[in-house]
Amino acid sequence: MEKRNYIPLIILLVISILGAFIPNVPTQIVTEGINSGDTAWLLVSSALVLLMTPGLAYFYGGMVNNKNVISTMLQSFIAMGVISVLWVVIGFSLAFGDDIGGFVGNPTTHFMFKGVLDGPVWGTIPFALFAMFQMKFAVITPALVTGSMAERVNFRSYVLFIILFCIFIYSPLAHMTWHADGILFKMGVLDFAGGTVVHMSAGWAALAGALYLKRRKSLTEDHVLPPANIPFVLLGTGLLWFGWFGFNAGSALSASPLAVSAFATTNTAAGAAGLSWVLFDVARGKKVSALGFCIGAVVGLVAITPAAGFVTVPASLFIGTIAAVISNYVAHLRTRSTLDDTLDVFPCHGVGGMVGMLMTGVFATSGVNSLVTDQGLAFGETTLFINHVIALVGVSVFAFGGSLLLLKITDLILPLRVSELDEKAGLDISQHDEFLIEA
């Protein structure tokens, strides 16, 4: 039996009681200016983005050792609960509330979803739908980080960390990048669907986590442990690829030609990157593998995310191909180091996100999206690319340094790493009293 702990339950009860006493009943439901087609597409897109988190659970769960499958998958699923509640309480307000210095939103603006149900139309969709669409992005971002700390992180500490991460890293980055008064938005930084906000922040947090937790005790010299279930990885990749159409095409916030363009660039980059990864492996004397194609496809999806609604379809071919080659090489370098990023989150999401951010600065064009005021480097202009380089450095320092600090704070409150005995037994049984029955 675990030592009894009533504190988390009490916190949830307090939040729930607040909901009963602060129901924030809408004074009016705004309907003028709402387009039913756009609303329908964003409802579907929100569901597609949420599906990505279970997809991530299968993707990660299939790659870890047999004794850690359930714990790894649960880390994604628990984020759906934790971040959903946190987003309603203050997360959305921190990201999209009234501006404070260009860095974060006022936590009281939409506290407990105040003014959300009866908020002004966001473009052509209800404000509440925009809030829910954005929530799905907030859910998957900390779940991405888990891959770097898999097989050795204390579950309770992980939950505390993702709460802190959402409040102090994700929400401020979302505000800086997507709020009209955000510092990166005012710089002209383009991030169509979260290459900076989601993937770079998760990638740098993953690197911080891998460095802080250090190597697994069970890790072999060549960093190789047998994956539990490659068909799980294939299933997870399919769900991620499918859901990513909501992630990227949904970020057009309308059922429009721009959404179609983002849809096309997303699929093209994923296909090119999957092929690029396995062909790069073949060029280095390795066999074509299911694992390699899956990882490559996800890297392509990551890299096209910031650029999806700003670049042409042929440009997305280049972005997917080059991102997979670079991420594959960085992952190879990682295996030759002492860094134990369990599922290569930094090489795939961190590096992939950075490549995508830079490629957006190269290939963005107003011919695809009229919001592009400064053309990309490929069209002879330098302003956008230089701004993206500056932003890349700033976001990297903020996400890595901030995550490292939050890991330290978390560790002081609850030990981040499980004991050597628990790690040896596996997190499924040591953290959850559950296990897979082996055939």
- Mean pLDDT of residues grouped by 10 in the chain (439 residues)? 86 96 90 95 98 98 95 98 98 98 97 95 96 98 96 97 98 98 98 97 98 86 74 98 98 98 98 98 97 98 98 98 98 93 96 98 97 96 98 98 98 96 94 82
pLDDT at 221: 54
Q: Domain of 379: which CATH number?
A: 1.10.3430.10
How confident is the model at residue 6, as a pLDDT?
93
Tell me whether residue 29 is in a domain: no
* Kind plus residue range of the DSSP H or E element containing 366: none
Examine residue 439 and state whether it is found in any structural domain, yes or no: no
Q: For residue 153, what are the β-bridge partners?
A: 417
Q: Count of alpha carbons within 13 Å of 287, Cβ hemisphere only? A: 3
415 occurs within a structural domain: yes
Q: What is the span of the domain harbouring residue 316? A: 6-23+34-214+221-432
For residue 130, being part of any structural domain is answered with yes
Residue 194, domain member (yes or no): yes
Residue 159 lies in a domain: yes
Q: Is 358 exposed, middle or buried (0-12, 13-18, 19+ CB in 10 A)?
A: buried
The answer to whether residues 363 and 309 touch, using CB atoms and an 8 Å cutoff, is no
CA gap 342, 157 in Å, rounded:
18
- Domain count along the chain: 1
Residue 204's pLDDT is what? Answer: 98
Q: Positive or negative, the Cα torsion across 284, 290, 293, 295?
A: negative
The verdict on residue 98 lying in a domain is: yes
- Asked if residue 1 belongs to a domain, the reply is no
